[in-house]
Amino acid sequence: MSKGYLTTHVLDTYNGKPGSGIKGSIYIFEEANKKKIIDFTLNEDGRCDKPILENDHFNIGKYEIQFLQEENERLKKTINEYIFNSEELIAKVLIDKNSPFLKSIIVNKGSKDNIKLGMAVLDESYLVGKIVEVNYSTSRVLLVSDLNSKIPVGIEPGNIQSILSGTGKQNGKIEYIESDISISNESVVYTSGSGGLFKPGIPIGIYNKKNTEEETVTFLSRLSQLTFVKLVSFEEGNN
């Protein structure tokens, strides 16, 4: 007779998707000690392909499941490594009729509003671009989808460092990464903070690997539907 089994199902409530690719470990408490039993990785549905423990390996007791602890702590350390003072303005998106870029927008804030080159442009908490041209009353934003966009990023899980490039379409692609590095499907892509362009930890998109030839990053913001954006200047402060 079967003794039962232990499994789990994880939902990524931040992105509204199953927690695919998440790594975890299962522990059992033995008196005052906690002992690791097994490591596992969730499938695309956020579930285990088979029970984590079953039959003779599953006994009555107190268990603990830990998810992505190492990756989460590393990301928090990266984000909190510096203190950033930030100032932000809300700007309205205007049509960019005469742009030299394939994917850009005009916003109704300029030098009179103290807008500076390189400022980050956010849709809620998601990065959508940066200021590349400033006029008196308007500014031009180069979107993350433009062919000229190159952003240093970190990819979790795994703390993988790479460059996110625009494709001129509604997605991006990961470039300049060693061939032996494997990225889990639906990994989250953040700004890494390298080069001081943006502060670390700003979410940009989700990595998708449909096959060996099609690997893209789906942006968390719908760039074609932008109406208002936040223009943010990050200044590194003192710890």
Residue 151 tokens read as: 């952003």
One domain for residues 108 and 146 = yes
One domain for residues 28 and 111 = no
Whether the pLDDT of residue 106 is over 50: the answer is yes
Whether the pLDDT of residue 213 is over 70: the answer is no
**Mean pLDDT, residues 29-43:** 79
| pTM for this predicted structure | 0.65
What are the E-state strand segments in the chain?
5-6, 11-12, 17-18, 23-30, 33-41, 53-54, 63-67, 84-94, 104-107, 120-123, 126-134, 139-143, 150-156, 160-166, 171-175, 188-191, 203-209, 215-219, 228-236
- Which of 52, 10, 2, 3 is CA-nearest to residue 28? 52
Which is higher by pLDDT, 108 or 200? 108
One domain for residues 152 and 188 = yes
Residue 31 tokens read as: 């008196």
Report how far apart, in Å, the C-alpha atoms of 206 and of each of 39, 61, 220 are: 24, 37, 7
pLDDT for 68 equals 59
* Range among 90-104, 155-169, 172-186 with highest mean pLDDT value: 155-169
The domain in which residue 63 lies consists of 5-67
Which of 47, 67, 87 is the C-terminal boundary of a domain? Answer: 67
One domain for residues 188 and 103 = yes
One domain for residues 60 and 102 = no
User: pLDDT tier at 180 (50, 70, 90 boundaries)?
Assistant: confident
CATH number, position 54: 2.60.40.180
- For the stretch 109-157, pLDDT in tens is 999 999 999 999 999 889 999 999 999 999 999 999 999 999 999 988 8
- Which of 149, 127, 138 is CA-nearest to residue 199? 127
Under 8 Å between Cβ of 87 and 75: no
One domain for residues 139 and 161 = yes
Backbone angles phi, psi at 81, to 5 degrees: -65, -30
One domain for residues 119 and 215 = yes
- Sort residue 201 into left (φ over 0), alpha (ψ -120 to 50) or beta: left
pLDDT for 16 equals 56
One domain for residues 82 and 170 = yes
One domain for residues 60 and 89 = no
One domain for residues 183 and 136 = yes
Whether the pLDDT of residue 75 is over 60: the answer is no
How many whole angstroms separate alpha carbon 21 and alpha carbon 157? 8
- For the stretch 77-93, pLDDT in tens is 554 444 444 567 899 99
One domain for residues 37 and 89 = no
CATH number, position 214: 2.40.10.340
Under 8 Å between Cβ of 44 and 35: no
